[in-house]
DNA sequence: TACGCGTGGTA
DNA sequence: TTACCAAGCGT
């Protein structure tokens, strides 16, 4: 066996024994919810998982599948309902974009998720990662799914670096494609297997190299696990940022069953200028709908 | 390209 | 406690 074939064999075997049983991973042949469109379910899970951990996504995903089992069902709902049911997953513009994607799928694709990477990526909120993930996991398309877990695992394994570059590089995409198994079915499993290895073993902070099936082949381990030396990603600020204020404003509106007066929003943040600017940006983003007489609500 | 965009768990 | 981290996207 070649070196790459050894990686394939060991990581696929590890995945078979260690994969988490997540609902959106259930194969079509065993899909337990006949009314729930599986490609749609995969797409929703992938958008929810953008920057949000599995544990927080799972209950919201189940709720969404109960409410909106097809793109047409979500398209028929108010965008504000999508924002409300998004709950506290964070980055609520994703909910709005999912609603817009459902509308586009219903209008332009007869309600069926397109089995084509370019058409997927043309949908709102679907970038290169999510298009590849939906293509691979919903339709079995052979394409490299390159998220931060994959980038980190492959960086350590092949390049010997502790961390991947701050943002996706052409070299990382090339490497991921080179490592992708030829066989379509193996490729789909490989994508999710490397992602799972990165999430459970080859972790960012405290990698569990002792549990790694390819430790003996890992360039980073063989180099003595050297500390990162290149530029690190810029740390995110939180306290006092517009993001914090927008989050507080939106929480009031999510929790309200009727339009709320401006006074109810004024109490969440002391700085009037920043508060007004953030409310205006939420309106601009389509996350908040202003009504006459200084009332506000999630968009209908 | 670098930055803005939520939220909460963990060390 | 503060800082880091989590299946990115759009501009």
- The DSSP code sequence of A104-173 is HHHHHSTTS--SSHHHHHTSTT--HHHHHHHHHHHH--------HHHHHHHIIIII--SS--SS--HHHH
Percent of chain A with pLDDT over 90: 94
- Read off the pLDDT of each residue in A43-64 and give the average, rounded to a whole number: 98
Q: Which nucleotide is nearest to A129 (CA to C1')?
A: C8
Whether any strand B atom is under 7 angstroms from the Cβ of A184: the reply reads no
Give the pLDDT score at A228.
82
Closest CA to the C1' of B10: that residue is A205
Phi and psi angles of residue A278, each rounded to the nearest 5 degrees, phi first: -70, -40
**pLDDT of res. A116:** 98
Residue A1 has pLDDT above 90, yes or no: no
Distances (CA, A) of A15 to A19, A50, A227, A286: 5, 22, 27, 41
Phi, psi of A290 (to 5 degrees): -80, 140
DSSP code at position A18: H
pLDDT in tens, A101-133: 999 999 999 999 999 999 999 999 999 999 999
Pairing of strands A260-261, A289-291: unpaired
pLDDT(A87) > 90 = yes
What pLDDT, on a 0 to 100 scale, did the predictor assign at position A230? 66
DSSP per-residue string spanning A217-250: G-HHHHTT-PPP-SPPPPPPP-TTSHHHHHHHHH
Calculate what percentage of chain A has a pLDDT beyond 70.
Answer: 99
**CA distances for A39 relative to A93, A112, A154, A193, angstroms:** 21, 8, 27, 19
C1' of nucleotide C3: residue with nearest CA:
A235
Catalytic residue annotation of A? 46
Q: All domains of chain A, ordered by start, with CATH?
A: 1-19+142-182+189-235 (1.10.1670.10), 33-126 (1.10.340.30), 242-297 (1.10.10)
Count CB atoms within 10 A of the CB of residue A39. 20
Tokens of A49: 């998982």
Nucleic acid strand B: bases within 7 A of protein CB: 1-9, 11
Instruction: Specify the pLDDT at position A234.
Output: 77
pLDDT score for A24: 98
Closest residue (CA) to C1' of nucleotide B7 is A90
Q: Sheet containing A260-261: give its strands across.
A: A260-261, A295-297, A289-291
Neighbour count for residue A178 (Cβ, 10 Å):
11
Is the pLDDT score of A174 beyond 70? yes
Instruction: With cut-offs at 50, 70 and 90, classify the pLDDT of residue A235.
Output: confident
C1' (C9) to CA (A269) span, angstroms: 28
User: Does residue A296 contact residue A259 with C-beta atoms inside 8 Å?
Assistant: yes
What letter would DSSP give residue A294?
T
Task: Give pLDDT, residue A231.
Answer: 62
- Nucleotide nearest A127, CA–C1', reads C9
For range A193-212, the mean pLDDT: 96
Q: Compute the mean pLDDT over every residue in chain A, rounded to the nearest whole number.
A: 96
């Amino acid at each position: 066996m070649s070196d790459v074939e050894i990686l394939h064999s060991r990581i696929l075997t590890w995945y078979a024994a260690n994969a988490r049983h997540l609902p959106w991973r259930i194969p079509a042949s065993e899909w337990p919810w006949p009314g729930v469109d599986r490609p749609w379910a995969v797409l929703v899970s992938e958008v929810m998982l953008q920057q949000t951990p599995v544990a927080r996504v799972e209950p919201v995903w189940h709720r969404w599948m109960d409410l909106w089992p097809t793109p047409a069902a979500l398209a028929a709902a108010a965008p504000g309902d999508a924002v409300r049911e998004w709950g506290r997953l964070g980055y609520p513009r994703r909910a709005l974009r999912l609603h817009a994607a459902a509308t586009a799928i219903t209008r332009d694709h007869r309600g069926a998720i397109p089995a084509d990477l370019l058409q997927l990526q043309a949908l709102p909120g679907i970038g290169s990662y999510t298009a590849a993930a939906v293509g691979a996991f919903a339709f079995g398309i052979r394409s490299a799914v390159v998220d931060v877990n994959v980038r980190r695992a492959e960086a350590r394994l092949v390049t010997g670096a502790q961390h991947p570059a701050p943002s996706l590089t052409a070299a990382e995409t090339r490497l991921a494609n080179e490592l992708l198994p030829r066989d379509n079915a193996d490729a789909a499993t490989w994508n999710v297997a490397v992602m799972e290895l990165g999430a459970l073993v080859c972790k960012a902070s405290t990698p569990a190299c002792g549990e790694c099936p390819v430790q003996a082949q890992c360039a980073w381990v063989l180099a003595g696990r050297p500390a990162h030396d290149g530029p690190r990603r810029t740390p995110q600020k939180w306290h006092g940022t517009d993001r914090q204020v927008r989050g507080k404003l939106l929480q009031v509106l999510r929790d309200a069953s009727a339009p709320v007066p401006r006074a109810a929003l004024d109490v969440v943040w002391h700085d009037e200028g920043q508060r007004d600017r953030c409310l205006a940006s939420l309106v601009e983003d389509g996350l908040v709908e202003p009504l006459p007489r200084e009332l506000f609500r999630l968009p209908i």
